[in-house]
């Protein structure tokens, strides 16, 4: 199925749909929010289906915020986008959908390069990658998140102190308050 997307909006669609890093869905209302992009410069080559945003790029759509030095977006013949964001580092932040009466939590992440594949619904974070969801943290040199299957793959860090190591911090579940003891004598 061929999709038609204007060149300026190429990467906006991919980023908004694909930068949900972690096994929790983004706020559904974000899809209905306007997209704002600021950059030092932008070039769009409609014939080649390539858009480039450079110079302190700031993307916002609802609760999603992405900051990068440079973002290159390519659109394939079927209208799917592939975006490459680079920075020192690329940073993103988005709130998850509220669940079970609880407000959504913030997902934050960073890496030197982020690849977003709209067709396959995958996000790859390269070089000094880190994702934080609420207070849980995953860190490694490479993080792959497959949105279709909620599959997460993390490869080790190049840190000389801990070469090849993945770091994960998972907080214990919130303390469950025990039921109040039944009043005696009733």
Q: Is 133 a domain residue?
A: yes
pLDDT at 103: 82
For the residues 72-89, what does the mean pLDDT come to? 89
Across 67-79, average pLDDT: 91
Q: Is residue 1 part of a domain?
A: no
More confident call, 25 vs 35:
35
Q: Give the pLDDT confidence of 99-123 residue by residue, as tens digits.
A: 788 788 888 899 999 988 878 888 8
pLDDT of residue 110: 94
The answer to whether position 92 is within a domain reads yes
Question: What's the mean pLDDT in 124-143?
Answer: 90
Length of the chain, in residues: 186
In a domain, 57, yes or no: yes
Going by pLDDT thresholds of 50, 70 and 90, the confidence category of residue 42 is very high
DSSP string covering the chain, please? ------GGGHHHHHHHHH---SSSPBPGGGGGSPEEEE-SEEEEETTTTEEEEEEEEEEEETTEEEEEEEEEEEE-TTS-EEEEEEEEEEEEEEEBPPBTTBPPPEEEEEEEEEEEETTTTEEEEEEEEEEEETTEEEEEEEEEEETTTTEEEEE----SSSTT--EEE-PPPPPPPPPPPPPTT-
**pLDDT at 41 exceeding the cut of 90:** yes
Query: In this structure, is residue 184 part of a structural domain?
Result: no
* Residue 178 within a domain: no
Does residue 144 belong to any structural domain of this protein?
Answer: yes
Calculate the average pLDDT of the chain.
77
CATH at 123: 2.60.450.10
For the ranges 8-22, 58-72, 100-114, 159-173, the lowest mean pLDDT is seen at: 8-22
Residue 166 banded pLDDT, cuts 50, 70, 90: confident
Average pLDDT over residues 76-85: 88
Average pLDDT over residues 23-32: 61
Sign of CA dihedral 37, 38, 39, 44: positive
Which residue range is the domain that position 54 belongs to?
7-169
pLDDT band at 133 (very low <50, low <70, confident <90, very high): confident
The domain tally of the chain equals 1
- Residue 104 covered by a domain: yes
């Amino acid at each position: 199925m061929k999709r038609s997307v204007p060149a300026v909006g190429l990467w906006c669609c991919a980023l908004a749909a694909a930068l949900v890093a972690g096994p929790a869905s983004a706020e559904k209302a974000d899809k209905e929010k306007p997209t704002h992009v600021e950059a030092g410069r932008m070039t769009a080559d409609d014939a080649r289906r390539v858009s480039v945003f450079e110079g302190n790029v700031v993307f916002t759509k609802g609760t999603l915020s992405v900051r990068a030095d440079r973002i290159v977006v390519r659109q394939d013949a079927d209208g799917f986008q592939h975006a490459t964001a680079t920075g020192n580092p690329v940073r993103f932040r988005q709130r998850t959908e509220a669940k079970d009466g609880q407000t959504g939590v913030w997902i934050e992440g960073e890496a030197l390069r982020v690849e977003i594949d709209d067709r396959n619904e995958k996000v790859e974070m390269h070089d000094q990658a880190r994702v934080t969801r609420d207070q849980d943290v995953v860190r490694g040199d490479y993080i792959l998140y497959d949105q279709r299957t909620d599959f997460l793959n993390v490869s080790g860090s190049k840190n000389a102190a801990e070469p090849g190591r993945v770091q994960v911090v998972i907080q214990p579940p919130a303390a469950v308050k025990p039921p109040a003891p039944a009043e005696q004598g009733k």
